Structure 1
């Protein structure tokens, strides 16, 4: 068992600390086990067995990660917007339906770009202080203090850096957080891109339009993306050479509220079920509660 976990660590480039966390034990306990000084190694080996068995099952099953990233007509628009914001150093908004590939495309686009900072907002991190602590962690600045200290520290760190900040799930940010972000963007002269669902944009043009006017007037580019913008060529790029009926079914799912993400999950589950024909796709979609 010791040889197996060491081989697993070497294969995946894991440190003792990372491996111990995966197993569910402390690093010192794991170190004692590896050196043969742990008094009850059977309890640890049961945990190691569970970890290795899970990994084996993951490798033998088809998952969404096995479908390589493909540039769709929607992802092209996301990339163009990101690049425009990066060059112009403005505030841009990418918003629209869930499951159309906004986040996946952003991650692919950002790979290898040392000037891009990516953070994901959440309801728990929507207020200014919480969000700026998150942003400060990514930038390795101070993580505590009053909101004004955090704000000034971020301005100092970002000014002259030519950085780009991409905020996913930006609909969770409160008005005061967005206004403070606008101030940082103007002070530091950097690019800020907000990615989210319809809510992030409707906040600015709906009932709260007056409150958001300052931010709204400074948006350099807006990109609205919907599931019905997928075209047949997109499905072929993502799923490869399938028969026309299968591709039509997958396109129907892409056009539904489940989007491309839903189509990928249906295809992945159908693959694990051993049938990615039109019949298999339709049956799996029905099992998952997706009407096609």
Structure 2
């Protein structure tokens, strides 16, 4: 059923029929009204009134959205099931990242982990946080480059229910929370931070003795070692106890991920190694594997090099 046919069916179906189908879907799948309302893009109170027969306004607009939700469910069921990605996969590069995080954590020191995108820095940090208590990951963006906004992200990572007003007060509250925690603060995408924000994080480390790991691309380290800004980062640079540059993944990284997805064909592994050497590295390999497994499942065949090539072509718009 194409989109125009779906639109015609939705337009022709009565509100009563749509509501009856929604009730059936909720009962059959054990869904909550909150979940249905969220997925359909309507308020939970409107859905409750529609299902209870007490909706006072014209229900057409609401039931069109519910019909669209039902159509999307039907479309999803018609597609091959998207295979679940494997859980944590230990790779040589991941173990190097874990070791750098462990050093910063146990020594109460500063580690800088930097390099290319998609090499597994964030995944490794999340795995480390899953293994030990008091590991906090704050992810920065261009919108959190300043001192106050960066400290807000750290507060949120620590689970503050209410954000203290102003950067100075946040700094004091964070010091009070972090002192004696024996924890590790991981700052992901740290290249987005201003010099002043980096210095504020350095001050947190100095005041509390917690481990601090700065993760990002090549820019985060380059800013500390060269150019006109280097002098302002001397206080932080002199405190770095561990530097780890992860420029690209190695063949064994790709092989470990491929094995976790059940890849056995040598030609398929060779193609994945080629993909891992391009932009995006393991992230690109993981996306390719998921789509390739979906294609193989839809055909009822074993995953092979042809599926890898087709999936990569689909993800890159046909680029080699």
User: Under TM normalisation by the shorter chain, which class is it?
Assistant: 0.7 to 0.9
Match for 1:111 among 124, 127, 130? Answer: 130
The offset of 1:57, in angstroms, is 5.4
The offset of 1:179, in angstroms, is 0.3
Q: Aligned residues, how many?
A: 288
Judge conservation of contact 1:125–1:131 (CA < 8 Å) in 2. Answer: yes
Match for 1:280 among 289, 293, 307? Answer: 307
Superposition pairs of residues 51-62 of structure 1, within 5 angstroms: 51=69, 53-54=71-72, 60-61=79-80
Q: Does 1:180 align with 2:207?
A: no
Q: Which moved more, 1:85-94 or 1:144-153?
A: 144-153
For 2:90, the equivalent position in structure 1 comes to 71
Q: Does 1:262 align with 2:270?
A: no
Match for 2:175 among 147, 152, 155? Answer: 155
Q: Does 1:197 align with 2:214?
A: no
Match for 1:221 among 220, 234, 242? Answer: 242
For 2:261, the equivalent position in structure 1 comes to 239
The offset of 1:94, in angstroms, is 1.3
Looking at structure 2, the residues matched to 285 and 134 of structure 1 have their Cα atoms a distance apart, in angstroms, of 35
When the two structures are superposed, what TM-score results if normalisation uses the length of structure 1? Answer: 0.85
Judge conservation of contact 2:84–2:290 (CA < 8 Å) in 1. Answer: no
Render the CA deviation track for 1:108-129: whole Å, top value 9, x for unaligned.
2212533112221000011111
Match for 2:65 among 47, 54, 76? Answer: 47
Which sections of structure 1, spanning at least 5 residues, go unmatched?
none
Match for 2:104 among 79, 85, 92? Answer: 85
Q: CA separation of 1:290/1:80 partners in 2, compared to 1, >3 Å: closer, same or farther? A: farther
Q: Does 1:253 align with 2:280?
A: no
When the two structures are superposed, what TM-score results if normalisation uses the length of structure 2? Answer: 0.78
Looking at structure 2, the residues matched to 34 and 88 of structure 1 have their Cα atoms a distance apart, in angstroms, of 58
For 2:166, the equivalent position in structure 1 comes to 146
For 1:36, the equivalent position in structure 2 comes to 53
CA RMSD of superposed structures (Å): 2.7
Return the index of the structure with the highest Cα Rg: 2
For 2:113, the equivalent position in structure 1 comes to 94
Q: Which moved more, 1:36-45 or 1:20-29?
A: 36-45
Match of 2:231, SS state, is coil
Q: CA separation of 1:22/1:213 partners in 2, compared to 1, >3 Å: closer, same or farther? A: same
Looking at structure 2, the residues matched to 57 and 89 of structure 1 have their Cα atoms a distance apart, in angstroms, of 52
